[in-house]
Structure 1
Amino acid sequence: MPLQFPPAPAPALRSVLAALGSPSALNEAHTPALRALQGPVTAELPLPVHVLDRVVAGGRPPRTRLTAWRFLIRGGDRFVAAADTRLTPDGWAFSHFFEGPYVAATERALRQAESLGTGYQPRLLSVPELYMLTLWLHGAVGASPAAGLPAAADLLVPLAPAPPGIAAFRPHPVSELLPVMTHRLTPTALAGEAA
């Protein structure tokens, strides 16, 4: 069973398509590869972006919150950039274009996940305190993309660049990787590193 991409909110997709069609939005973008493209571009592979909050020792589950929808931008036969949207009081709106290592890393991790042969809902999970972004393969393929916590059997695939000591592109069950992240983020671990 392939990856089951959740449908992005229609306003999020419309705002990205409008930005792609706006010469001023493209000219203001800090994405030379996107600005240099000739020909049509498409917004593909919508991914809800969650932020991992409140990682604490003691077995309490962390919290996640949906902060964005990300679309990979295809020009010709390759992805050259990504576009993020954000939730505003008026709904989902275009935020910014970007390029860099996470675009290629996301594409690679998605291709790798397709080969697993298991059905997952792909999401992105950001851990800002570790400067870490993972592909979150959520086992509940029909779940609302805005809700849910990482389940023990879900997989997290750290994207490159990954923090030291965490292998990029290696699928980790949440039950295996979450304790590593918890250890790195707890105040005792931070105090021990400072000593």
Structure 2
Amino acid sequence: MPLHIPPAPSAALRSVLAALSSPATVREARTPALREAVGPLVPDHPLPMHVLEPTAPGGGLPHARLTGWRFHIRSDERVAAAGETVPTADGWAFSHFCEGPYLASTERALRQADVLTAGYQPHLLSVPGLYMLTLWLHSDLTDDPAVAQPASADLLIPLAPAPPGIAAHRLHRLTDLVPVLTLRLAPTPLLSSPA
């Protein structure tokens, strides 16, 4: 199996487990699938979540900033929701439960990545300016997820729904997709009015 899923911080996992064991938290979640789940709810597939920062001056690779960990919450064999944690000054805290198309899309992308011949460390990488989420396959298996940065050997799998013109579930080299993202995120120049 080429995917080397990094272990989530124990405090992040504990915060999700505490939220799952709180009937009030689960009942008040805006996730009908989680509220209607039958059987035990189990956190699975912890993935570090990052936000893509603007590219470096001179056209270098962009930077990524760790924003949390996402756990898929399983009920029996299906994913009912995701539980997200955020870093705090003294560790990790539960943030919220969510559901939607990115859950199934993440599972599909993980299966796609699992058949690759090279090993990768999976992360989620958000591009907020494009309302885009990707599975980031980091090539350095020894990197600490908290400080991992995009590298030229990394791959991206855009999750569905992807922005127009970017194919979901297509494997992209990071170096091929970054110029497209940079162009899309660049501010549009103001047209000068005729004199």
- TM-score where L is the length of structure 2: 0.94
How far does residue 57 in structure 1 lie from its aligned partner after superposition? 6.7
- Cα 1:89–1:57 change in 2 (3 A) is closer
Shift of 1:192: 7.5
Contact 1:51 / 1:127 at 8 angstroms: preserved in 2? yes
Amino acid at match of 2:170: R
CA apart distance, 1:66: 0.3
Contact 2:56/2:63 (8 A) holds in 1: no
- DSSP-derived class of the 1:129 partner: helix
Amino acid at match of 1:170: R
Q: Cα RMSD over matched residues?
A: 1.6
Whichever residue aligns with residue 142 of structure 1, its letter is: T
Is 2:118 aligned against 1:118? yes
Instruction: Report if aligned partners of 1:5, 1:47 keep a CA contact under 8 Å in 2.
Output: yes
TM-aligned CA deviation for residue 90 of structure 1: 2.3
Q: Is the 8 A contact 2:49 2:69 kept in 1?
A: yes
- What's the % identity of the aligned pairs? 61
1:34 is aligned to 2:10 = no
What secondary structure, in the 3-state scheme, does the structure 2 residue paired with 1:191 have?
Answer: coil
Consecutive unaligned residues in structure 1, runs of 5 or more:
none
Letter of the 2:189 partner, please give it: A
Compute the displacement of 1:97 (Å): 0.3
SS, match of residue 119 in structure 1 = coil
Quick one: distance in 1 between partners of 2:70 and 2:51?
13
Task: Report the counterpart of residue 105 of structure 1 in structure 2.
Answer: 105
Q: Answer yes or no: is the 8 Å Cα contact 1:55–1:186 preserved in 2.
A: no
Which runs of no fewer than 5 residues in structure 2 stay unpaired? none
Q: Is the 8 A contact 1:102 1:160 kept in 2?
A: yes
Q: Which one-letter code corresponds to 2:81 in the other structure?
A: A
Where is the helix percentage greater, Structure 1 or Structure 2?
1
Q: Which runs of 4+ in 1 moved over 3 A?
A: none
Pair 1:116–1:192, CA change in 2 (3 A)? farther
Task: Give the deviation of 1:10 after TM superposition.
Answer: 0.3
Q: Kindly name which structure, 1 or 2, has the bigger radius of gyration based on alpha carbons.
A: 2
CA-CA distance at 1:175 after TM superposition: 0.7
What is the alpha-carbon distance in structure 1 between the residues aligned to residue 148 and residue 9 of structure 2? 17
C-alpha distance in 1 between matches for 2:54 and 2:155? 19
Deviation at 1:56? 5.7
Q: CA deviation at 1:181?
A: 0.3
Answer whether contact 1:57 1:182 (CA < 8 A) is retained. no
| Cα pair 1:55 1:185 within 8 Å, conserved | no
1:191 paired residue number:
189
Q: Distance in 2 between matches of 1:111 and 1:191?
A: 41
> Using the alignment, how far apart are the partners of 1:192 and 1:153 within structure 2?
36
Q: Which residue of 2 aligns with 1:152?
A: 152
Quote the residue 1:68 is aligned against: 68
Task: Tell me how far 1:58 sits from its aligned partner.
Answer: 3.4
Q: Which residue of 2 aligns with 1:58?
A: 58
1:97 partner letter: F
